[in-house]
Amino acid sequence: MGTPEFSSFSRTGMFEELCKCSRETPAEESRETSDTSQQPSDREDKNSELETSHHELRKRVVQLEEENNKQRVWAESVETRLQALLETSQRQYTATSCSSNPYPHYQEGHWRQAFPGYVTQKEFQEKEEENKKLKARIKELEARNEELLSKAMGMHKHSENVNDPWRLSAVLQMYEMFRLRDWEKFRSTYSLTYKSGSIIIKKLFDACEEDIQQRKRNLFEVLGIPPYNETVTKSNQGMMQEIRNILRYLYYQGQTEFYSKIVMQTGIGPKTPIQREFTEQCCKIYCLLLLQDPPLKAVWNSGEIKYLEHVDKKGYEYWKKPTFLWPIIKCGEQVVVKGVVWDEK
């Protein structure tokens, strides 16, 4: 390492200069004495100047020595630090070469403590995959909603009233979200099998149909209309539509107690809040489908394979013994919502 600009200056060199000045001074003094023997005051002035110069020179020597010492200490400190950095770099390089982890003293737990937002490469890839699946699912749901809406509009000769909360497109969307979101939550919470789930859904749907039929019979009896007389029914289409609207309002505004009575008819007897919420919501949505104009109804016919889809998204050729989890929803002979099946072993 190079030394500072004053490092070449030594005390020996300084004193050699002083001695040289001292040797030259007497000769000059003798000449001046011989030349100016008559001027004693001039000699005194010369001596005074020499003493002053000598004193200043000594001060300068001391100052230069102090600066030289400071420069040497600074150089030694820098050299020491550089050496320490070099040794540290060599140790890190050796550790990196011997391990796949460039920071062996930092395991995953240490990284998480030091950096709260730290995410491993594996976690990042898992999140990316999950995000892609969610985006694909959203697109699928949007496409199905569009399909349901177009079918709903096709079944009506007039456009829907968007302010009607129980209009067909709104109820179909409720049904689709219920099958995907609420059913999955219910199934995962209680670890239900597809078999037990299909039994519950079938019982709830049957109970809804029986409840609506009973209420219609009661209304027909009060109004004096024979319920099964087709001629009278066709001649009173306006009255039938009003009856259907009254029932739709009744079932839409129905409170918890209203649907809990329907659930009780199945003998299921839900015991937890999640069970009660699922069963009552299932009844409400299906009752609103039954009360559409024209009504939509569940069909449990596994022979219509083209209107079925497997719960595991398997092709027809891989189905073993398909059993309904969710029924086909029809409006007359038109299929509105495909059914969902699973393989019963």
Query: Using 50, 70 and 90 to split pLDDT, how confident is the model at 213?
Result: very high
At residue 8, the pLDDT reads 44
Residues 151 and 62 in one domain: no
Residues 71 and 207 in one domain: no
Lowest-confidence region among 56-70, 180-194, 275-289, 330-344: 56-70
At residue 326, the pLDDT reads 96
Residues 263 and 160 in one domain: yes
At residue 208, the pLDDT reads 96
Tell me the CB-side half-sphere exposure of residue 256, using CA atoms within 13 A: 6
Q: Is residue 121 part of a domain?
A: no
At residue 2, the pLDDT reads 47
Q: Is residue 112 part of a domain?
A: no
At residue 182, the pLDDT reads 93
Choose one of 72, 93, 114: the last residue of a domain.
Answer: 93
Q: Is residue 170 part of a domain?
A: yes
Residues 329 and 270 in one domain: yes
177-198: average pLDDT: 92
Residues 334 and 208 in one domain: yes
Residues 325 and 261 in one domain: yes
Higher pLDDT, residue 323 or 147: 323
Whole-prediction pTM value? 0.55
Query: Using 50, 70 and 90 to split pLDDT, how confident is the model at 300?
Result: very high
Residues 84 and 224 in one domain: no
Range of the domain at 287: 144-343
Q: What is the mean pLDDT of the chain?
A: 76
4 pLDDT above the threshold of 50? no
Which pLDDT tens digit goes with each residue over 27-42? 444 444 444 444 556 6
Residues 156 and 274 in one domain: yes
Q: How many domains does the chain have?
A: 2
Residues 49 and 167 in one domain: no
Higher pLDDT, residue 247 or 157: 247
Q: Is residue 242 part of a domain?
A: yes
Residues 85 and 228 in one domain: no
The percentage of the chain sitting over the pLDDT mark of 70, rounded to a whole number, equals: 67
Residue pair 154/169 in contact (Cβ under 8 Å)? The answer is no
Integer angstrom CA distances of residue 230 from 60, 154, 295: 130, 26, 17
99 pLDDT above the threshold of 60? no
Residues 82 and 167 in one domain: no
The C-alpha atoms of residue 189 and residue 170 are separated, in whole angstroms, by 27
Q: Is residue 76 part of a domain?
A: yes
Which pLDDT tens digit goes with each residue over 234-287? 556 677 778 888 888 889 888 888 899 999 999 888 889 999 999 999 999 999
Residues 319 and 177 in one domain: yes
